[in-house]
Amino acid sequence: MRIRPHQRVVVLGAVLALGAAACSSGSDTKNTDGSKPGGASAKPSASTAAVSVGTAADSTGPAKAIPEAKNGGTALVLERADFNHLDPARVYVSHEQTVMLLLSRQLTTFKAEGDRTILVGDLATDTGSTPDGGKTWKFTLKDNLKYEDGSTIKAADVKYGVERSFAKEITGGPTWIQEWLTGKSADFRTVYDGPYGGKSYDAIEAPDDKTVVFHLAAPRADFPFAVAMQTSSPVPKDKDTKLEFDKHPFSSGPYKIASRDVDKGMVLTRNENWKPETDAVRHAYPDQWKFEFGAQNQQINERLMAANGEDKNAMTFRTAVGREVAQKVLETPDLKARTADAFTPFAEYFEMNNKRVTDPKIRQAVVAAFPKQQVRQILGGPAYGELSTTLMSPTVLGFEKYDSAGVPPTGDPEKAKQILATSSNPTPTIAFAFPQTPMWEQVSVAINEGLTKAGFKVVAKPINDKSYYTEIGRTANEYDLYWSGWGADWPSGITVLPAKFDGRKIQDDGTVYSLYNNPAVSAEMDRISNLSDVTAAGKEWAALDKKIMTEDAPVVPFVYRRQLTLYGPGLGGVRVGFIGSTYPTDVWVK
């Protein structure tokens, strides 16, 4: 989910070194839509970071102090909607992963050092060891790890935390660990269905309070990256409130939930039992974090620009600078100086429901007619991201750019009509689902106009903003077209194409939103996943990317996402982090 491409990756040795590769598209460089905001000259440098696997020394806390930073104060976070999940086993959307940096810890995590990112031990003393080439992984916990009530974090809690992610009630989070332990995809629960029936899972061992051992079904060299996901967060069995845990998780991080008014606000205060010397990543400078939910994106940006009252110390995890203010922000030195600006690992799509839109010709026609440039202009113009034509983003090893549709960024309704003429229905109806916000209402109008010109009938289906992912995540949803975004969980195609396009993973609240199911493609994913040469695998993932789009067109590739975010002048240490959101780990109140 986190880097720019190329060159050579050594996951277990030391360095994941990626050569420079700048993203570019003709529509961005020429600015053919005639817009000024966020034009090519305003882009951040698409320079390449490097990821390395750190040592025990890299994993030792405390985090390196920021010289000008100080403790104290309240940092305010403005978000359009409340967090749908706070249970670490259910968290997967980027802004939810971001808030969990304050509330939970995992076996490993990512540490920023300049323009480099290092995988380090978080709860663990290092990034793990394997005696048999990656089939068995052992982690040793650090000393003096504490929960919010002062009790000790134990290996059995990590084991239980992973076990509960198998339960049918606990859905929505990543499933790498579950799948790799069982050797199964969406049906991993047929092997083990969680601890709520009193069963433990022997493939995970906690022989003592400090040791966790995972026995995988097959060697996985990048398992230390998988346990950086929230799935490996510890949960004491006696604190597991099952579905209620989603509202108020038991903290292992530097902060705990002091109060929460769902859909309105939340306050985090210090976990006084968190020990900085155990944590190589989190600074925890503010005394508390206050969250406000409910404002629209434009309101959030206007408040951050004005910076009145407590908004002086405000930021946002995911609200990007929109079209309506981008020019002012980028041309006003004071405002531009307090932006976090970087390309992210996310590729965005408009997914098509392949169970409803079954004819590939109709899907290809949607791709040909889709008004990408018009939609991007509504969402923020070139500052929003670069128009894309591939399934994987340039942040993934082996990325190769191609264009299977060969149409202008504004769409080609005549070409789409020609494709529809050879399809099973030359005048199909498309039900377009979207978050019910003013901005997305405008997007709906643009898509309606673009597809109607090609002969489609478009029916608008607005969805409550908070439950959007839940609604489109239902396998029985009644929509044909809907937006989503995806970033690699780490820079490998194995964390993109199988997650998004392996039909065996189709399930409610899953990640295959397109419901695309091609057994031959799934078999090819298995073959590539078993390659031991990650560079060779990268090339194969890129080839499969092109094959999927060229032959089946399950989605409309939209943009490679850029994150340009404002924050108040009273904060320091604000930056775009590894998962493409604005991170709180270095933030301090001036």
> Long-range contacts: 108-112, Cβ < 8 Å, 24+?
108/224, 108/225, 108/227, 108/228, 108/232, 109/228, 109/281, 110/2, 110/51, 110/228, 110/281, 110/578, 111/54, 111/58, 111/63, 111/280, 111/281, 112/575, 112/577, 112/578, 112/586
Instruction: Tell if the pTM clears 0.85, that is, is over it.
Output: no
* Residue 45 or residue 141, greater confidence: 141
Give the pLDDT band of residue 51 (cuts 50, 70, 90): low
> Looking at the DSSP assignment, which residues form a beta bridge with residue 52?
15, 118
On whether residue 194 sits in a domain, the answer given is no
Residue labelled with tokens 């109008």: 445
Residue 25's pLDDT is: 28
Classify residue 492 by its DSSP letter. Answer: S
pLDDT at 501 over 50: yes
Q: Which of 105-119, 419-433, 475-489 shows the lowest mean pLDDT across its residues?
A: 105-119
On whether residue 352 sits in a domain, the answer given is yes
* 434 Cβ neighbours under 8 A, 6+ residues apart: 440, 441, 443, 444, 460, 461, 462, 463, 482, 483
- Sort 226 into a burial class: Cβ within 10 Å, 0-12 / 13-18 / 19+: buried
Token pair of 47, please? 């320079």
Nearest-angstrom CA–CA distance, 305 and 303 = 5
Nearest-angstrom CA–CA distance, 111 and 103 = 17
On whether residue 245 sits in a domain, the answer given is no
Residue 534's pLDDT is: 67
* 585 Cβ neighbours under 8 A, 6+ residues apart: 63, 101, 281, 282, 283, 577
Mean per-residue pLDDT, 198-205: 97
* Residue 555 or residue 93, greater confidence: 555
Residue 345's pLDDT is: 83
Output the domain CATH number for residue 537: 3.10.105.10
Q: Are 584 and 101 in contact (CB under 8 A)?
A: yes
**Residue among 322, 317, 336, 278 at smallest CA distance from 75:** 317
Give the pLDDT band of residue 18 (cuts 50, 70, 90): very low
Strand locations in 418-550 (E): 429-435, 457-463, 481-487
Token pair of 255, please? 């902060």
How large a percentage of the chain has pLDDT more than 90? 75
91-114: burial string, b at 16+ Cβ within 10 Å, e else: bbbbbbbbbbbbbbbbbbbbbbee
Give the pLDDT band of residue 15 (cuts 50, 70, 90): very low
- The model's pLDDT over 504-526, given as tens digits with 9 standing for 90+, comes to 999 998 899 999 999 999 999 99
* Residue 536 or residue 232, greater confidence: 232
Token pair of 30, please? 């020429």
Mean per-residue pLDDT, 308-336: 93
**Residue among 512, 556, 540, 561 at smallest CA distance from 389:** 556
> Looking at the DSSP assignment, which residues form a beta bridge with residue 291?
77, 266
* 30 Cβ neighbours under 8 A, 6+ residues apart: none
* Residue 7 or residue 294, greater confidence: 294
Mean per-residue pLDDT, 58-86: 96
On whether residue 175 sits in a domain, the answer given is no
Give the pLDDT band of residue 326 (cuts 50, 70, 90): confident
Give the pLDDT band of residue 48 (cuts 50, 70, 90): very low
Residue 42's pLDDT is: 37
Parent domain of 42: 8-50+343-563
Nearest-angstrom CA–CA distance, 464 and 82 = 12
On whether residue 226 sits in a domain, the answer given is no
**Residue among 372, 345, 371 at smallest CA distance from 561:** 345
Nearest-angstrom CA–CA distance, 536 and 517 = 25
- Domain tally for the chain? 1
CA angle 353–358–363, rounded 5-degree value: 70
Nearest-angstrom CA–CA distance, 477 and 513 = 10
- The model's pLDDT over 524-569, given as tens digits with 9 standing for 90+, comes to 999 998 776 667 888 999 999 999 999 999 999 999 988 889 999 9
On whether residue 511 sits in a domain, the answer given is yes
Residue 351's pLDDT is: 98
pLDDT at 230 over 90: yes
On whether residue 546 sits in a domain, the answer given is yes
pLDDT at 330 over 70: yes
- The model's pLDDT over 119-171, given as tens digits with 9 standing for 90+, comes to 999 999 999 999 998 899 999 999 999 999 999 999 999 999 999 999 999 99
Give the pLDDT band of residue 580 (cuts 50, 70, 90): confident
Identity of residue 60: T
Q: Are 394 and 496 in contact (CB under 8 A)?
A: no
Mean per-residue pLDDT, 261-289: 97
DSSP 3-state of 119: strand
Nearest-angstrom CA–CA distance, 351 and 369 = 14
Residue 532's pLDDT is: 66
On whether residue 113 sits in a domain, the answer given is no
pLDDT at 444 over 80: yes
